[in-house]
Amino acid sequence: MDLHGRQSNKENQLVAALTKAPEATQLQVVKALYGKATTTNVRALQKLQSRVRSKLLNQLYFLDHSDPRHLVSRRYELECLDLLHKVSILYAEREYKLSERLMMRCLRLAETGEFTQYAVQSARMLRNLYAEQRQPIQYKKITQVLLRAQQVLAWEDEAEQLYFDTQLTLNGTVAARRAVLALLPDRIAQVETLNQRARSFTTFNILYRLRLAYEEQQGNYQEIIKATAAASRRWRDGKLNARRFDIRYNHFMSIYAYLRGRQSVQGLQLAEQYVRDFHQSSKNWFYFEEHHVLLALHAQQYERAQQLQLEISKNPAYPMQREAALQRWDLYKSYIDFVLPPQRVLTPRQRQMAQWVLQLPEYSRDKRGHNVAILVLQVLYFLRERRLEEVLMRLESLRKYQQRHLSEATTLRSRLFLSLLQVIVEKNFDAAKAAVRGQTLLQQLKDTPPPGEAFAEVEIIPYEHLWALVLGLLRDGSPVAVVTEVAA
């Protein structure tokens, strides 16, 4: 397709229409292209869509995968696939000499990149060719290569099954994550045995990621920092397969550990360097930038967080994220808007955001890990607006949420902060008295490390910093009840 040609046609018009209005309905597109939404025009659009889809899919063969900000293994894997595709056609056409050369090349590439599945395919095709060509010496040699590759592939498959079983559970409910945590040491031991047998990058990488997941779930963030730093050194020294090791994943886990390990200043410095290794068209860029923003917030660099948020929202792929991700960005922006120096008169945007915050549910399963953050933000907004009834209502919601969902020992930080919020009611919203009464709780909060990922409520801004904000709001003025005039 020539999308930049001078002559416009229906195919180019369709692409332009969908680019301009991605959410347009079929009838809207029919009217835009054909004028009327008749049955004949609908059928014409369906045929047009089919032609355009086929042409766009053909463009996938020409994508450039050489940019190092993408997954590094992609370009080498696709090179193997390209050779296998060509060999399959040549072999079917009985072009055996060229087929053999390309198969050997594919096998070498697969072995260099440790793509065991493609090594198996190449060796199998070579075995079949040598059998048909009656070349017993080459046949025996390649058969040994094939048997070894098949055995390694079987070990890799077993390791992958253990890994994905674990990952699926870790992405589930808190209860499921707690259950799999007890199983992780045994699974790590199984994968370690498989890695000793296979000695392949795939089994090593699975073992490495399982170990990081185990430390993450337990909250051993310092161990993650050490492990990722060691892996980076090995990668730079050429001791890890440069065609396979995803340095971006290592970067992400590193700054995540700095964030959760309360080393936000160091983590922010690293994030500013590491972000250059992520392509902005990749979904991994958004995951990384989410933690980048949180690091800025934890380091109390709120202007930097605001700047990052603005840059991220300008990414063309921003609105294409999942709805849950977009809502998280809205929540982060609400906190950013709140903590920056407030204006005496609220802007329309601030009032709109306050209404959005008010409408969020008190408890929602799809916002797992963010429920406390939502309720706390509501309290903050209503404290700023000095609306006593709404503040008391949200504090009561927090108390109920604590009773129902924060009973485990691993939720101690959240419980301590919610206890601090109850102190402001106990001291009748007097900032000085609340500060004195809350000193012991605040010290306990500072001494309590963040829990593991299996049990965590996300702190968009550390509770210690939020407590300082609460006291500052109370010094500006206590919330008051709204007096309703009763008609005579």
Write out pLDDT tens, residues 53-66: 998 888 888 888 88
Give the H/E segment covering residue 216.
helix 201-218
Per-residue pLDDT reduced to its tens digit, 132-182: 999 999 999 999 999 999 999 999 999 999 999 999 988 877 778 888 888
pLDDT for the residue 347: 58
Prediction pTM value: 0.82
Q: Which residues pair with 387 in a beta bridge?
A: 480
CA-only gyration radius of the chain, Å: 29
Residue 83's pLDDT is what?
Answer: 96
Identify the residue with better confidence: 79 or 175.
79
Spell out the alpha helix ranges (H) of 59-200.
73-92, 96-113, 116-132, 136-170, 174-198
pLDDT in tens, 185-220: 999 999 999 999 999 999 999 999 999 999 998 889
Torsion of CA 449, 455, 461, 464, to 10 degrees: -40
- Please, what is the Cα angle at 370 between 365 and 371, to 5 degrees? 65
Let me know the angle formed at the C-alpha of 161 by 158 and 164, rounded to the nearest 5 degrees: 150
Per-residue b or e along 448-467, where b marks 16 or more CB atoms closer than 10 Å to that residue's CB:
eebbbbbbbbbbbbbbeebb
**Residue 8, pLDDT above cutoff 80:** no
Tell me whether residue 365 is exposed, middle or buried, using C-beta atoms within 10 angstroms of its C-beta: 0 to 12, 13 to 18, 19 or more: exposed
- Among the ranges 21-35, 46-60, 116-130, 319-333, which has the highest mean pLDDT value? 116-130
- For the chain, the structural domain boundaries read 10-62, 73-134, 360-476
Q: What is the pLDDT of residue 16?
A: 86
| DSSP codes, 350-396 | HHHHHHHHHHS-S--GGGTT-HHHHHHHHHHHHHHTTBHHHHHHHHH
Angle at which helix 10-20 crosses helix 26-34, to 10 degrees, equals 130
More confident residue, 60 or 436: 436
Provide the pLDDT for residue 349. 56
Residue reference for tokens 């392509």: 279
In angstroms, rounded to a whole number, what is the distance separating the alpha carbons of residues 359 and 149? 58
Q: What angle (nearest 5°) sits at the alpha carbon of residue 110, between those of residues 109 and 113?
A: 85
